[in-house]
Structures are given as structure tokens and as C-alpha cells.
Chain A
Amino acid sequence: MNHRGGLALIIATWSSWLQYRGFFFLLAFGWMIPPLIYLLVWSTAAGERAVAGLGRDDLITYYLVLILVNQLTYAQANWTVGDLIHDGRMNVLLLRPIPPLYDAIASEVAGKVVYLAFDLPVVALLAVLLRPEVRIVPQAVLPFALALVLAWALRFFWGYWLALLAFWTTRSSALLAAQDALVFLLAGLVAPMALLPAWLRGAATLLPFRYMVGFPVEVLTGQVTGAAVAQGFALQAGWLLVALALSAAAWRAGLRHYTAVGG
């Protein structure tokens, strides 16, 4: 593996992305809206009295953290992987002496920096406007960081194997859209886990989507504690292994199947 080349690619992609920051700020704005809507709706609903033990301040803190976590874990590179395969542009990447995975990771790193340059000031402004009383214990920060890294890896590789199905079908972007809908419902965007109806919460606990966004936020805000944290980490790591295995398998089988079109 050519890691120095990979690093150079990451830096090059990052510099080139910064030239288009207006465009990427617009994308970040669009992605921020759904969690923002539910932040406002739930904080209004809990304005008079707490909902299922969560008060207005808890909900605002939860969603402000979630806006950042959702952006940090959003694997937008996966949308381009399918296009690369359809257009035959994957040829160029395959000829490089670097695994094409680096290309996806390079745009991931570049994206995170550019999107955060938009998200951080907006979240800070919202915090000033809404003035939530934040209750975060310092001991939760380290587990949060670990859960966040795992969440990014899980969301990235889960999307990556779905995107690699583009080797066989021209409709892999529909799968990514379906994945986004599931994340919206089950990963804590539409409501924190504690507020979901029991049947939906049961599904959310077992399926991988909660561990892509909601779980780190719950760890940081103290909505999940004790044995449930350990269980969450176990499920998160387990799903990550599944996603890694599926990505590797899809890549190997897909490459054998690949024939470029056009040129």
C-alpha cells in the first residue's frame, strides 16, 4: 500500500475543495435542516413540561450535538463512487498506484473540514440564540470520541458496500437514498431513542443505523449509561466488522465483474 501517495491525495483533494466552499456550504446547509427542524419542534413540545423525562434544555443540547455528529459521520463520498463506476472514470483510479479507497477517504477528509467550517459557527449561533442549560459530564467525552470514530467508520463502510453494488446495478444511488431514510427514522434524527415508540426503539437498538449517528450523541449527553453503553459499543463494533467484510467482498467480486463503458 502506498500510504505517502494516499496522504498527498488527501491534501490535494482538501485544497481543491476549499476553492468551492460556497457550493459545499450550501450542501451543509441542506443537510443541517432536518435535524434543525426536529430540534425546534421537540424543544417547543417540551417547552411546557418534560417529554418522557427529557426537558427543553436536554433536547436542544442533544440536537445541537447531533447536527455536528450527523455532519461528521455523513459519508458523502459514497454518492460519487457509484458515478465513478457508471461513467467508467474508475479506470483512471484503478491505474493509479494507490487503492481507489483512498480517493473516497480523501474527499471524506476534505469534506469534513469544509463542512465543519460552516456547521460550527451556525451551531454556536444557535446555542447563543436558544441558550440551553448544558449538562455534560467530563467522563463522557472519551467514550463519546471513541463512539464517534466508530460511527464514522460504520456509516462510511456501510454506505461503501451499498455504493459498490453499482458494479452490478445502475440504481445503487436509490439504495443510498433508502439508507438515508432509515438513518432519519432509526438513528435518532426524528427523535431521540427515548422518545420513539417501543416497537421502533426495539428495531433501532438492533439495526446498525443508531450506531452511525445517535449512539455517540446519547453517550455524550448521558441518555445512555451503565451496561447499555457497553452493549451499544459491542453492537457498534459488530456492525462495523460486518460492514468491513461486506465492503471487502463487494470490492473483490465487483472488480472481477467490472468492464468499463465509454471512454
Chain B
Amino acid sequence: MIRHMRLIGCFVQASLQEEAAYPANYWVGLAHSLLNLVTGVLGIAVLFGQVETVRGWDFAATLALLGVYLTAGALRGLFIGPSLDALAGMDGEVWSGRLDFTLLRPVDIQFLASFRRWRALALFDVLLGAGILVVAVTQMQAALGPDRLAAFLVALAAGTVILYALLLAGAALVFWSPGTLFTWIFDGLFQLARYPLGLYPGWLRLVLTWIVPVGVITTIPAEALAGTLSPGALAGSAGLAAVLFVAASALFRQAVRRYEGASS
């Protein structure tokens, strides 16, 4: 465990040094994050400028959901996305055959594949997401008690694990069909998590809950914050996170076993 923590420290340091070589990227990245935030908030403001509530969701609760969406996306951008992309993205190691060298390293491959690349700029996105969450809480009618905060943190952690498991499964599938851009399909579906599941028609709600559970990632924590979440749903999302994590890890191990090298 201590060794793994120390390794993560090394990965973070190496990534930071690599990024520091491109200072202009910071400004472009910051501008990009701010644009993403502004369009997200204005989208909600326009909607609730016309209606008071939609299917039980008011401005504050929907804003909280946007905060969860941005935070989850930022955690993905911080390390899950860059690390898995280096493995299974376009021109990734599975595709190019450089995975040979990665596999030879004396560390667990899933650990290495999940933590080795970091993007410091995403910390700014985490702050923006947290800021939106704070603003949303101040807009809510009832004050935030410790029980709701605890439920929110559990739901957020479960959501992040679900996000990680889905991305890991996507990376594993690339071993079977290299060049398929599973993350692109996922990105499209993940955008739907910007708005509460309840705003979508029934068939889409089923897809986003049970088939590709991206809706669970944002809706459950936002409901926890707004105090409308049932204990059963919270337990359900934690259970789903555990099941998906185990299943995705097993799939990933199976996938790595299939790997045969691609270079000459």
C-alpha cells in the first residue's frame, strides 16, 4: 500500500514536469474549463427562467446536479481519462504494441493503467465543480445537515467508482477490437448525465440506469444533496458500484491475458 502511494507520487511528479513544458496550454485549458462552466450554468438558467420546476427538480437541485457532473468529469480528467487513454485510446499502447514494455514492469497492470498519467489542470475543474456545488447548496430551501452531507459523499464516491468501472471496461474491450473508440460512445452518453434522469422519457431512463448507468453517477448524489434520495437508492448505487468494479476488473484481467503484442 505504501509502495503504491509512493508510486502515485512519482507518477504525479513526472506528469507535472511533462506538462510544465507547455505553459501556453494552461491558458487554453483554463479558458476551456470556464466556457464549459458558463454554458452549463446558462443552460440551466435559461430553462428555469421559463419554468419553476420540472418533474420535481428546481433550479438549486439541477444546479447541484451540474456540480456533480463537473466534479465527476474533472476527476476523470485528473487521472482516469489520461491514464486509460495512454493504454487504449487512439494510438494507445494496445494499438501500437508498446504495452509489451508496460507489462514487464513489476507492478500490478490495472494499478499502473489506472494511475500513471495525471493532468494537473483538472484540479481547476474540480474546484469549479465544488464551487457550483457550494452555490447550489446555498440556493436550497433547507439547510444542509450532516446526514445529507454524508449521504452525498457516499453517493459521489459510488458514482466516481461507477464512472471508473465503465471506463475500465471500455478500455478492456479495446483488446478485443483495437481501434474501436468505446470512449467516444461513452462521452456522448455521459453528456446526457448533465440533466436529471427524471427529465428523460422512460425508455431512455431505463438505458441510462441499467444498461449504461451514467445517469446514476450524477442523479443519485444530487438527490442526496437535495434530500430527496431514499436510503434504498443510496444502497443500490453503492452496490452497483461494487458489482461494476469487480466485473470491470475481471474483464480487464481477461483482456490483458488476451494481449499478444502488435509491434514487429
**Which A residues form the contact surface with B (CB < 8 A)?**
23, 26-27, 29-30, 32-34, 37-38, 40-42, 44-45, 51-52, 129-130, 170-171, 174, 177-178, 181, 184-185, 190-191, 195-197, 200
Contact = CB atoms under 8 A, between A and B. Distances in A.
A33 B39 contact: no
Name the prevailing secondary structure of the A interface residues: helix
B199 interface: yes
Contact of B31 (A23, A45, A174): A174
B55 interface: yes
Contacts of A52: 50
A30 B187 CA distance: 8
B47 A191 contact: yes
10 contacts: A27-B184, A33-B188, A41-B47, A42-B47, A44-B199, A181-B38, A191-B46, A191-B50, A195-B46, A197-B45
Nearest to A49: B51
B31 A200 contact: no
Contacts of B50: 45, 51-52, 191, 195
B199 A29 contact: no
B188 A29 contact: yes
A37 B42 contact: no
B35 A177 contact: yes
Nearest to B38: A181
Interface size class of B (residues with CB under 8 A): 20 to 34
Contacts of B124: none
B77 to A, nearest CB: 15
B1 interface: no
Contacts of A178: 31, 35
B191 to A, nearest CB: 5
Given A26-B184, A197-B46, A33 B191 contact: yes
Contacts of A26: 181, 184-185
Contacts of B188: 29-30, 32-33
Nearest to B50: A51
B200 interface: yes
Interface string B199-218: 11101100000000000000
